[in-house]
Amino acid sequence: MNKVLVVLVALLALAGPGTPALAQQVASLEPVRVVIAPPRSEIARTIKADLSAAYYGARADTQAHAEAQRLYFLYGERHFEPIWLSQAGSGTGFSPAAQKIVTLFRDAAAEGLRPEDYLTPDIDLARARGDASAMAALETAFSRATMRYAHHIHNGRIKPQSISEMLDIQPKPIDEAALLERLARSDDPAAILGELQPRHPEFLALRKALAEFDDSAARPAPIGNGPVLRPGHSDPRVPLIRERLKLTASASGTYDELTVSAVRNFQQSQGLEVDGIIGPATIAAFNGGGATRRQDIIANMERWRWMPSELGDFAVMVNIPEFRLAVLREGREEYATRVVVGTTKHQTPIFSDAIRHLVVNPYWNVPTSITRSEIAPAVLRNPAYTDNQNMDLLYNGTVVSPWQVDWSQVSAGNFPFRVRQRPGAGNALGQIKFLFPNKHDVYLHDTPSKGLFSRSQRAFSHGCIRVENPMEFAEALMANEADISRASLEKLFGPSERWVNPKTRIPVHLVYFTLRVDADGTIRSFGDIYGHNEALIAALGLETAPVPAIVAEAEQVPGDLSP
């Protein structure tokens, strides 16, 4: 087979004899040709043996197994010759490129990473010098550390799904062979690795904020969660709120007019509902800015690394903790509106997709989960429920009358019907929905429940995203479509469902940032409504003092079955 082997053959050769299970597993894979060139020097033979032992000794489905497999093929393409070790007058040492990468490892904390993840105990040149086996192990350990660093700055340290299954985010690929070769030949490996960093202005601003963060500075005590505070009420948090607003100190817990006026000004400056009512969103804003923790900065930098490298020249971003949707053109906000998102029980998933369809006068095809948990019990209590809600019962795709069903033979757990709500004024999706087909069956849509948009905390849906001004959003969304406008969409209003298909798919990003950075560098903080931020801080191993919760579970809205 000369220098080029099929990956299946290489896998079996590495595994050794007596591995029929592996043979059966790989036999179903599409063969991929890789170069496995024979070693031509003593250190190359030692490197090959070391990589083979590491691969064979690692347990399948582990990070060590994946790293060993990748490195075996990477080095196999170059006769297993070292990349990072070079001959000097006094013997073998790190190459200039490797020495510069070591400096990056030492400075990893400035990137929100941990130096000890890369400067591991097995990267010890002094201890390995003079021992061929130890030098080979050092070579491969350095490559593992370099690839680990590359993946961390490109995709983050933590797998999103380990935080929550609602974080449906896939890692961005890296051509590791090409990257290693470029790094080894480069006079500036830091610049090459820097290409893998997010380039979004908010990420860069957070990195700057991390560099300037002063742990020794006195920071305001966080204001804890509590009941919604209205003018005239009393609350033990009021003196702390006055202090945050730089008002005259007072021990009184009464929320007086002077404080209400200052709160209104603060709410306006933060883009909040200017109502003088102190709810979770206002508390979160109080706890932002100067009260931002180092851990919050690093966690939000990590989430930026989870994002696609390119958001799209024209895209939609919905930030769940902010309850806000924005249309972006070349990174600049062109339109924004409020949204309602999923409750903590029915969370809105986090992922990226593309809007492909607009549906005017939509049917609402009720998800099975809502049918079983809420609609089926209601129908069993009162068969007229579906008619009262302008809904159809469907059996095998055919509409059936609830009065033709023997309900004594049906239970909520064995409900054989699909349910849909017909277009109309009371339809849960309102007059229009914006589709980006996905496995979560979530989308953006209008809603008849307009009163919820006036609330500062807007987590009320079953997971879909309700848009406050859907026709304004439609107009902004169709700005690049010559044949689609708000007027043309409104002409379709009526009793029948109508689909409109833009020529261009529009990227949509459902994101979860608890810190946002304005153009002037101001950091704004938002509540961790699903707990993803604190879970990520824990997974990152960042020390944190207990902070009072700033967002409570959204209250239930009676009769609200909307997605």
Catalytic residues: 445, 464
In sequence order, the 6+-apart residues with CB closer than 8 A to the CB of 229 are 235, 237, 238, 255, 277, 278, 279
Kindly provide the b/e burial profile for residues 512-521, where b requires at least 16 CB atoms within 10 angstroms of the residue's own CB. bbbbbbeeee
Helix, strand or coil for residue 69?
helix
Q: Which residues touch 41 (CB under 8 Å, ≥6 apart)?
A: 81
**For 405, which DSSP code?**
S
Cβ-contact 256, 230 below 8 angstroms: no
In DSSP terms, which residues pair with 34 in a beta bridge?
A: 5
What does the block give as tokens for 378? 């209601």
- Chain centroid, CA 303 distance in Å: 6
Query: Under a CB-based contact definition with an 8 Å cutoff, are residues 413 and 430 in contact?
Result: no
User: DSSP labels for 156-218?
Assistant: -SS-HHHH-TTB---PPP--HHHHHHHHHH-S-HHHHHHTTS---HHHHHHHHHHHH--TTS-
Distance CA 168, CA 367 (A): 19
Helix (H) or strand (E) holding 314: strand 314-319
Give one word for 440, left, alpha or beta, with left for phi > 0 and alpha for psi -120 to 50. Answer: alpha
Q: Which helix (H) or strand (E) holds 35?
A: strand 33-35
Q: Is 62 helix (H, G, I), strand (E, B) or coil?
A: coil
Measure the CA–CA gap between 474 and 471, rounded to whole angstroms. 5
424 burial type by CB count under 10 A (0-12 exposed, 13-18 middle, 19+ buried): exposed
Give the span between the Cα atoms of 533 and 215, in whole angstroms: 20
Strands (E), 276-371: 314-319, 324-329, 332-342, 351-355, 357-360, 364-365
Q: Which run of H or of E encompasses 317? A: strand 314-319
Which residue type is seen at 3? K
Question: What's the CA gap between 344 and 346, in Å, rounded?
Answer: 6
Cα separation values, 134 from 66, 102, 372, Å: 22, 18, 62
Residue 529's closest CA among 268, 292, 384, 341?
341
